Amino acid sequence: MIKLYDYELSGNCFKLRLLMAILGVKYEPVAVDFYPGLEHKSPWFLQLNPLGQLPVIDDDGYILRDAQAILIYLASKYDPSAKWYPTGSPNLLGEVCQWMAFADAITSTASAARLHDGLFYDFDIEACRTGAHRLFRILDEHLWFGEDQGNDWLCSGSHPTVADLACFPYVVLSEEGGISRQDYPAIRRWTDRVKRIPGFRVMPGIFPAGPGPKTT
C-alpha cells in the first residue's frame, strides 16, 4: 500500500489526500511531527527527502517527493480515464504544467504567510502577502475569463485536473496568513466548485461547500 508521510495541517499533504480520496486510492498515512517536533528535519526523514520537506510517498518501495510531482505520479498511475493528468492532449498538458508551477508560487507566498502567522516562521510577511495578492489577481482574472468561455476549471476542458488540486489548498487557507479573498469573486466560485467534486474531503481550516443550487 502507498505510504504517505503526512502532516494533518499541511496543505501540500492535503492535496495528495484529496486526490487519493477522489480516485479511491487506499493509503497508509505516516504522521510526521512537523510542528513543534520539526521531524521533517530529522536524520531519518532527510534520508527520505534531503530537502527536508513534506510530503513524500513510498509506493511499494518507489519513493517520491514534491507535492506537484506526486500528484502527477498518482494521477498517471491510478486514474485510468487519464482526465486528471491528461497526457493525450499537448495543449491541455501544457496548461496543467503551467498551473502546477503557479501552485509552487502560491506555496512560496500564501503558504509562507500562513506559516509566519500560525507557526512563527521568520519570513518577510509583507512580501509574502503582496506576492500572494499579485498571484490571486492573476488567478481571479484567468478564472473570470474562463467562466465567460464556459470553463469551470483552471485548464481548458470540461474536467478538473491535478492543477486545480495543486492550487486549491493554499488559496483556500490564505486567510490564516492574513490574505483576504474578498476581492476575488471568481476564485471564490472556483473553490466552491472544487469542494463539490465527488469524493472531496476537508482538512482543518477548510469547510465543506454549503448546500448547492437546487436541481429540481
Partner 1 sequence: MQNQNEKDPIIENLWHALGALKEIDAGQVNKTQLLGQPLCYGKDANDVAFVWPASERHKTHTPVNFEALNRCLPVQVRYGYVWTCLGTPSEEIFDIPEYVEPDRRNLNAASMGVHVSAPRAIENFLDMGHFPYVHTDILGVEPHTEVKDYDVTVSADACEILATRCLFYQPMASQASAGGADVEYVYRVPHPYCSILYKSSPLDAARQDVICIFIQPLDQEHIRAHMLLSVLDVDNPDISIRAFQQTIFGQDKPILENQFPKRLPLDPRVETPIRADKSAITYRRWLRQKGITYGVIPAAA
Binding site for partner 1 (CB under 8 A): 8-9, 31-33, 35-37, 39, 117-120, 122, 175-176, 178, 203-205, 207
Which triple of cell numbers denotes residue 81?
480515464
Compare residues 146 and 205 and give the one whose CB is closer to partner 1.
205
Give 173-199 as a DSSP string: TGGGGT---TT-HHHHHHHHHHHTSTT
Q: How far apart are the first and last CA of the chain?
A: 42
Query: Please, which residue, 31 or 82, has the CB nearer to partner 1?
Result: 31
> Computed from CA positions of residues 139, 202, 157, 12, in that sequence, does the dihedral angle turn out positive or negative?
positive
Smallest separation, CB 206 to partner 1 (Å) = 8
- Pick 66 or 175: Cβ nearer partner 1: 175
Q: Is 155 exposed, middle or buried (0-12, 13-18, 19+ CB in 10 A)?
A: buried
> What's the CA gap between 30 and 8, in Å, rounded?
10
**Structural element, H or E, at residue 73:** helix 67-78
Q: What share of the chain is helix, strand, coil (3-state, %, to 5)?
A: 55, 10, 40
| Nearer residue to partner 1 within complex by CB, 60 or 122 | 122
For partner 1, the closer CB: 102 or 136: 136
Least Å distance between CB 205 and partner 1? 5
| Shortest distance, position 204 Cβ to partner 1, whole Å | 3
